[in-house]
Amino acid sequence: MIGCSFYRIDLLAENAYLRFANQIGIMAFAQTPLVFLLASKSNPISSLTGITYQKLNYLHRASGRACIFASWIHALLWTPEVWWAGHFKRWYIIWGLVAIFGFTGLWATSFRWIRRAAFEFFLVAHILLSVAFLVGALFHWQRMAYWIWPAVAIWAFDRLLRVVKTLRINFPWRRADGQCTLEMVGSDVIRLTARRRGLKWSAGQHFFLAAPGVAGSKHETHPFSAANVPSDEGDVEAVFLIRAHRGFTQRLRDAMTSDTDTSIPVFLEGPYGTAHSLEHFSTVLLVAGGTGVTFVLSHFLALLQSARSGRSPIRLLHLVWHVRHGSDVTWIAPLLNQAAKEHPDIDVRVEVFVTRTKVADEPWPGEVQTPGVETPPTVTSHGDHLSGRSSQTTLVDPAESRPLLETIPTPTTGLSRSAQEIVSFKPGRADLCTILRRDVARSEGQVNVTVCGPEALMSSARTAVREVNTPEAARRGQVEVEFFEETVGS
């Protein structure tokens, strides 16, 4: 971009720096359509390449930084001339200031910590400042309007397409089969089930949810991954797990009149994201932390569907989930019950690692789990009542063959008898390297590791894959391990 700005400039000529300032200003204008194209949810680049708009976001940020860098170089080089000529009160200068400060505001409000702390503010600021930038740039130098109007067209088309998608999914079915059910399944987790006729999506895709009755603005939407996949028959229900933090999610929880509420209208827009198929793997290890389970659980259920229909050669399906409390399994209990009832003749395992117990620590090498004794219903430390049966697991140190003093309860709240057979509870954090080595040793073909959760968990998964999938292991004939990750958060 800087090199193009020097095109046909005689550096020894008088006022050569002003010609450079003009040309780098043109480079800033030229970035504008690309900035808006890469920010759109339905951009053609994703359709042509299969790369999701989230993955292209780094190009959106890069083109935006290039635009703001070129704009400020242009402005700073022209400032002395404008000052000496007394043009600061002229409209083309005023509109130029509106454009450059509007775009600078876009950059300043786009940092990750701002998006996480105040997403609603980020959303509204992005819309208002984008309008300020486009209008200011258009009137600053109208001869460059051929760069601005395509950006306006891209932004308008993206908004129109999103409105059409929302209308198509939600409004033709305003009767009972279009309702949403919100359930408090934890102290800060809402399970939202949206029933929509004819709704289709693939594992790993997400929707934008809008609840005008509780949103801060009518334009406010938030992305959430679907925790399930469409059923082969019957009504189509999309299930989402929403952790109430602040802002929209907090207002959504406060608006609920009971633990189960069907009175709050929630509209869906999507699906978005390119499906990442795992059907061709023989062994799949899915790793999640907290509500990141929604992403991997949809793959879990999709693989079971594919195995039942004979579309997948999978023989081992292993889900490792980290939660704070054992009772958090109630978030996904209905989906696990359905999976356990209908799962095909393959090895299916769900390991729930509980990180907040008296024995929660890094797993001991050689930990042995022995079945305990059934106990009556108990109450967890944060006050959630456990119904049905609950067993108790004792950890044994094989070196000394003596039970530890502490035990971890194994809650089965909401789990059916068949689901209890595939779900196990363990304290602490998973030793992903050991788990992966064990799964790879038992695999008959390609292995995939897919992880979704906090950065620390994804880093641990990457380390495990790197330690297991070594060149030496490949030379010994070890099967190939493929890795895929999805980041939690905006």
CATH code where residue 258 lies: 2.40.30.10
pLDDT of residue 123: 86
Say if 277 falls within a structural domain: no
Domain finish residue from 113, 142, 168: 168
The answer for 435, left when phi > 0, alpha when psi is -120 to 50, beta otherwise, is alpha
Please indicate, yes or no, if residue 334 is contained in any of the structural domains: yes
482 within 8 A of 318, measured Cβ to Cβ: no
- Judge if 250 and 334 occupy the same domain: no
pLDDT, position 215 = 79
Helix axes 91-108, 119-140, angle to 10 degrees: 150
Residue 285 pLDDT: 97
Residue 439 within any structural domain of the chain: yes
pTM above 0.75, yes or no: yes
Number of separate domains in the chain: 3
pLDDT band at 18 (very low <50, low <70, confident <90, very high): confident
- What CATH number does the domain containing 452 carry? 3.40.50.80
pLDDT digits (tens, 9 = 90+) for 395-428: 333 333 333 333 444 555 689 888 999 999 999 9
Q: Do residue 386 and residue 294 come from a single domain?
A: yes
Q: Tally DSSP H helices, then E strands, for the chain.
A: 15, 16
pLDDT digits (tens, 9 = 90+) for 240-287: 999 988 888 889 999 998 999 988 989 999 899 877 889 999 999 999
Q: How confident is the model at residue 489 (pLDDT cuts 50, 70, 90)?
A: low
Q: Give 202-226 pLDDT, tens digit per residue.
A: 999 999 999 988 877 777 888 999 9
pLDDT band at 379 (very low <50, low <70, confident <90, very high): very low
Q: Go through 174-213 and write b for each residue having 16 or more CB atoms within 10 A of its CB, e for each that does not.
A: eeeebbbbbbbbbeebbbbbbbbeebebbbbbbbbbbbee
Q: Is 448 helix (H, G, I), strand (E, B) or coil?
A: strand
Q: Which domain holds residue 116?
A: 2-168
Residue 376 has pLDDT above 60, yes or no: no
Do 308 and 360 lie in one domain? The reply is yes
The pLDDT mean for the chain works out to 83
Residue 57 shares a structural domain with residue 83: yes
Which of 230, 247, 272 is the last residue in one of the domains? Answer: 272
Band of pLDDT at residue 58, cut at 50, 70 and 90 = confident
According to the model, what pLDDT value does residue 394 have?
31
In order, the DSSP letters of 94-106 are HHHHHHHHHHHHH
User: 160-174, 266-280, 283-297: which range is least confident on average?
Assistant: 160-174
Report d(CA 404, CA 298) in Å as an integer.
37
**Domain termination residue (choose one: 246, 272, 298):** 272
Per the CB < 8 A criterion, the answer to whether 238 and 228 are in contact is yes
